[in-house]
Amino acid sequence: MNQLGPVFRQARNESGKTIDDAVRETKIAKKYLQAIENEDFSVFPGETYLIGFLRNYAQFLGLDPDEMVHNYRDYKIQEQPAPIEQLTAKPRGTRKYLLLVLVVLIVASTTLYVLFSGKRDRRFGEQEKAEQVRQEEQKQQKAEEKIFVFDEEEVIRDFGGKEIIQVAWGDRVYTITIDGI
């Protein structure tokens, strides 16, 4: 790849123009144009200014502005030292930190699950017991409804299947079960 500064200098010399001509035409200060030709990019107040000046100067010299900006970016990448230490260094506790967070989340979620499922089971157990008690009471009521106690001398009633009749005779109680009619 061609270096950036010599390309600008050579294009300016081939066109027969001086730095002062470029200053007048482009309205770019002389120190910045000289910095471009000398590849001293530390002079510029920011990279945005530098790229704008590169485009204007390239256009003035008849060069492709996009290609010159691309060449500058390539040059900039080459100038930066490769961060070998950063590439080869192990991450500082990042994995340990993530592992610790993961373990804490698992423990917390397990604890919450056990707490809430235990309450739910207890509530379910309580509900189940209450339902059993209610069913027993209903069975007892139905059984009491089917038990008919003779306490009169004469009873006129229709009896169906699965009914129980209790007759008191003296001091004893006799039970009659009707299975079917």
Least confident range of 29-38, 42-51, 126-135? 126-135
> Within a domain: residue 11?
yes
Quick one: pLDDT at residue 20? 92
Answer with the one of 23, 46, 79 that is the final residue of a domain.
79
Mean pLDDT of 102-110: 91
Q: Indicate the residue among 31, 49, 79 that finishes a domain.
A: 79
Q: Are 22 and 28 in contact (CB under 8 A)?
A: yes
How far apart (Å, rounded) are the C-alpha atoms in residues 181 and 167?
19
CATH number for the domain harbouring residue 29 = 1.10.260.40
Kindly tell me if the per-residue pLDDT of 108 is higher than 80.
yes
Least confident of 44-48, 63-67, 84-88, 105-109: 84-88
Residue 43 falls within a domain, yes or no?
A: yes
- Residue 85 covered by a domain: no
- The sheet that has 172-178: what strands, in order across it? 147-150, 163-169, 172-178
pTM over 0.85: no
**Residue 149 lies in domain:** 145-178
Residue 128 placed within a domain: no
Give the chain's domain count.
2
Find residue 166's DSSP bridge partners: 149, 175
Q: Does 99 reside within a domain?
A: no
Q: pLDDT tens across 15-37, in order?
A: 899 999 989 999 999 999 999 98
Within a domain: residue 88? no
Q: Cα(36)–Cα(42) distance, rounded to whole angstroms?
A: 10
